[in-house]
Amino acid sequence: MLFRKRNERIRKIGGSTVNITLDETLRPLWKLTLYCGVLLDWCLPASNNSRLCQVLRCIGIFISSSLLFAMLLFELTQLLVGIESASNIHAIIPNLLWSVPIFIAFAVQLYSLRQRRKFLGFFKKWRQLEMEIAHLNPHRVMCESRKMHVMMYVTYGFMTMASLVSLGLDIFNRPEATYLMSTYQIVRETIPLLLIGTIHLMSILLIWILSSLADFIPAFTYYHASLAVSCLENEVRTLFAKRNYADDLLHHSISSRLSSAVARLDSFPVKQSNLKPAAIELEESVRLIWTRFEAIDEMVSRADSLFGSFMVYGQAGAIFFTTALVYSVLYNLSDALQLRSAGPVLSYSMNLIAIVFRFVSSLIISSHLHRSTGKFRASLTYLLSKHWNRMTKEDRELFRSFLWRLQIDPLVARPLGVYCITPSVLLSVFGVIVSYVIVLLQTK
């Protein structure tokens, strides 16, 4: 209830406008992982902390982690067995496509449970920062549309359902596949195929939930940081607009007094008006904006170290999956053309589309921070050059120092400090994938 009241306070600051906070963006995923027994509370403290609920959540987490660990051991065993008998690389790709995502999901769950208190501390600090920025500019909001958030959640839900349906059909059509427990005849005779399919489907569902967690938390955090930077940019523009209006009033007041003096041939000196350019001095306002920017930078640095492992491991896995799936599609393309059927490449193509969408959308959302910082720097440069003659020497030095700060250390997402997330990263990744696909095709 306390966090809902804080969000309502942020909403009321802008009057009729509505600000969508980071808590509200991640709330659907937080509820899903909390009430499905996948994780404990990591974004917001649970409202119902009764002992019975805590016990049930711990039991659910134990069951889900045990299931992922058991499936990981099975898939790794099947992978080692397949490597010994495989005639080429393509023969073990299905086992790799099963074992790697289970490993990533299991690692994400363990890491989230270990860093739970740090997660809660980070989001608590972020709520305070959102309140400070909302008070700095009460007439603007950081995020007022749910379109992008809803689209991402709906798309991930659709891909999850499609994966479950395709896997279910695969289990009943090809129960002897090496990546399924039913590959052993004794298992098929002992355990009903429906139960085997349920176990595999549950593991796939957990993989999608935890992979969504690894994608959404850092991406949406960087996205809301970019919205906060845009809010600071709007505040700077508003500040200069108020200053221009006040300067025009001052100039008009002085001109009127001079005209009256000349008309009356008054020998007394003209007194300057006491009208100030704004309610707050320009220097104080800029320093306050600079302080808020440094606070955003600090939170982004914390996100880089806290959630960076999600992005590094998840995107490394996405590059591996994309390379393997592109290779598999090209490997089976000749058979599909001869049979005039999409069957040999259909499953690989569907998985490839899902992986590419996840990877590209996560990078694009995270790269908004780089774009917002560049836009903020360009706007500050433009305003500084436009109003240079009207500014005092102290204001000029302050703005130049702030602009130099933005240039030498730009605010950008750096997961674990390994690389910077910018739109140009897609070109680098594309080159890496093409190179590895060519190498794999040469081994055919």
Rounded to whole angstroms, the Cα distance separating 93 from 76 reads 12
In degrees and rounded to multiples of 5, residue 37 shows phi and psi of 70, 30
Q: Considering the chain, what is the average pLDDT of its residues?
A: 80
Residue 240, pLDDT score: 80
| Residue 44 pLDDT level (bands cut at 50, 70, 90) | confident
Closest CA to 373 of 230, 218, 240: 230
- In tens, the pLDDT along 158-198 reads 888 888 887 788 788 888 888 888 888 888 888 888 888 88
Residue 144, pLDDT score: 61
273 versus 308: the higher-pLDDT residue is 308
Residue 151: is its pLDDT beyond 80? yes
SS3 266: coil
* 182 and 188 Cβ atoms separated by less than 8 Å: yes
* 109 and 309 Cβ atoms separated by less than 8 Å: no
- In tens, the pLDDT along 210-264 reads 988 998 999 999 999 998 898 888 888 888 877 654 444 344 444 444 445 444 4
Residue 286: is its pLDDT beyond 60? yes
Residue 257, pLDDT score: 47
| Residue 48 pLDDT level (bands cut at 50, 70, 90) | low
Residue 243, pLDDT score: 63
In degrees and rounded to multiples of 5, residue 140 shows phi and psi of -130, 155
Residue 386, pLDDT score: 84
- In tens, the pLDDT along 308-332 reads 889 888 888 889 889 988 888 888 8
Q: How far is CA 348 from the centre of its chain?
A: 26
| Residue 139 pLDDT level (bands cut at 50, 70, 90) | low
Residue 428, pLDDT score: 87
Residue 267, pLDDT score: 45
Boundaries of every domain in the chain: 2-260+272-442
Residue 16, pLDDT score: 40
- Between 31-40, 123-132, 344-353, 426-435, the lowest mean confidence (pLDDT) is in 344-353
Residue 299, pLDDT score: 92
Residue 222, pLDDT score: 93
Residue 419, pLDDT score: 87
Residue 142, pLDDT score: 62
Residues 146-167, mean pLDDT to the nearest whole number: 84
Residue 2: is its pLDDT beyond 60? no
Longest Cα–Cα distance in the chain = 114
Rounded to whole angstroms, the Cα distance separating 156 from 355 reads 11
- In tens, the pLDDT along 56-108 reads 888 989 999 999 999 999 999 999 988 888 777 888 888 888 899 999 999 99
| CA-to-CA separations, 76 to 103, 193, 238, 291, 328, in angstroms, rounded | 9, 22, 59, 50, 20
Rounded to whole angstroms, the Cα distance separating 171 from 347 reads 13
Q: Which amino acid is at 172?
A: F
Q: Which amino acid is at 333?
A: L
Q: Which amino acid is at 301?
A: S
